[in-house]
Amino acid sequence: MTTPRIEVDLTKIRQNARKLVDCLAPLGISVVGVTKGVCGHPEIARAMLDGGVTVLGDARVSNVERMRTAGITSPIVLIRTPMLSQVDRIVPTCGTSLNTDFGVIEALSNAARRAGCIHRVILMTEMGDEREGLSPSAMRDIAQRMMGLAGVSLAGIGSNFSCLTGRTPPPMAMHALSRLAATIERDCGIPMRIVSGGNSANLASLLGGVRPERINQLRLGEAILLGRDPLTHQPIDGLATDAFTLVAEVIESTMDAPTSLRRSPGSSASQRSARIRGGKSLIALGDQDTDTRGLSFQDGLTRQGSTSDHLILRTMHSPLVVGSEVQFQPSYSALMRAMSATDIAVEVSNTHDMVRSSSQRKSHLDLERA
């Protein structure tokens, strides 16, 4: 088989999506399935949809175009503020985008009028992550200015938590987001149908009892794909953590030097034998391919280091055989880089129960109008 490669179990992605959708539905929270970590891979996006997700999200218009070309008609939200240079590509492919700049919203308005459609805008506010977002007063100002624009509509507000700072989202910030939605509705007379309350880092608090009454959407990528909390990296109860396996090939293997035979005080014969059987192996996978520090190894293997083209592993027992394969479980950063690498093949399994009928899914335009 081709190496290096990423093996994807679509059944586990479907199951993770279904579990999260079902857990959040009683709270009135819908799920945006974020596909940026897999570069908008169409089969993986379909697995999210088959798991009950109704809206997809991505940060790059090229990934969205890839999904549209593959026949995916579900609503897709652009989850990064649009580039001015791409508005004419964004409007036909994304029904909604997250925004922080009025000049960009004006450009989206013009592009939507040229295309003869309405583009929905979610305004993002900054609530402690120190990444993107407007102040509450600026949010109200832009919401009022948007009322004079044709081609765009204000669908709601949102915020981001934990991506930059790595801090646990404070419950008070999510409650503040709910209050801000009510304030904008009162001041502008525009209903906030969407209050997008963050990402996978918000799951623990929301499922643990925090109930900000207006939050009705989460943007989930890592939780669906890897089944882990992005802050603690711990498995989320009930979710599969092994939907993705990165496989690479051994290209060099050497035994430990004879100096390992030297007796050390207090060492047993079995300990000396274990040192003799150890060695070093070079793997055809490097920093250009993935985040090698974000890989989990099989028992008996440890990371010695990496270069752009090589991952160097220490073996506790017998050296690996040249030509053999080694499997790794990737972190989210390792997965994103590996899915972007041109030399890593992607092989999906368990596609047999994917929903293929177009009649079973509404188009993104139908759902955007709903």
The two three-digit tokens of residue 334, written as one number: 């390792």
Q: Which residues contact 200 (CB under 8 A, 6 or more apart)?
A: 218, 220, 221, 222, 223, 229, 230
Question: CB count, 10 Å around CB of 356?
Answer: 11
Under 8 Å between Cβ of 31 and 17: yes
Question: What is the spatial distance between Cα 305 and Cα 266, in angstroms, rounded to a whole number?
Answer: 30
3-class SS of residue 280 = strand
Cα(343)–Cα(329) distance, integer angstroms: 18
DSSP string computed for 306-356: E-SS-EEEEESSSPPPTT-EEEEEE-HHHHHHHHH-TTSEEEEE--TT---
Residue 363 confidence (pLDDT): 44
Short-list 55, 25, 236, 22, CA closest to 158: 55
329 in Cβ contact with 245 (< 8 Å) = yes
Domains of the chain, earliest start first: 9-235+353-369 (3.20.20.10), 244-349 (2.40.30)
**pTM of the predicted protein model:** 0.88
Q: Return the pLDDT at 198.
A: 80
- DSSP-assigned beta bridge partners for residue 325: 249
CA 45 to chain centre: 11
What pLDDT is stored for residue 197 in this prediction?
86
Strands 217-220 and 244-255: unpaired
Judge contact between 364 and 64, C-beta under 8 A.
Answer: no
Q: Tokens 């989206």 map to which residue? A: 108
Q: What residues are paired with 327 via a beta bridge?
A: 247
Name residues whose C-beta falls within 8 Å of residue 86's C-beta, 6 or more positions apart in sequence.
61
Cα 302 from Cα 306, distance rounded (Å): 12
Judge whether 214 and 29 are in contact, CB under 8 Å. Answer: no
Q: Tell me the pLDDT tens digit for each residue of 155-211.
A: 999 988 766 565 676 778 888 899 999 999 999 999 999 999 888 888 888 888 877
> Digits of tens for pLDDT over the chain (370 positions)?
899 999 999 999 999 999 999 999 999 999 999 999 999 999 999 999 999 999 999 999 999 999 999 999 999 999 999 999 999 999 999 999 999 999 999 999 999 999 999 999 999 998 765 667 888 889 999 999 999 999 999 999 998 876 656 567 677 888 889 999 999 999 999 999 999 988 888 888 888 887 778 999 999 999 999 999 988 889 999 999 999 999 999 999 998 765 544 455 555 544 444 444 679 999 999 999 999 999 999 889 999 999 999 999 999 878 899 999 999 999 999 999 999 999 999 999 988 655 543 333 444 444 343 3
Q: Are 230 and 162 in contact (CB under 8 A)?
A: yes
What pLDDT score was predicted for residue 174?
81
Residues 102, 107, 113, 116: what is their CA dihedral angle, to the nearest 10 degrees?
Answer: -110
Which amino acid, residue 83? Answer: M
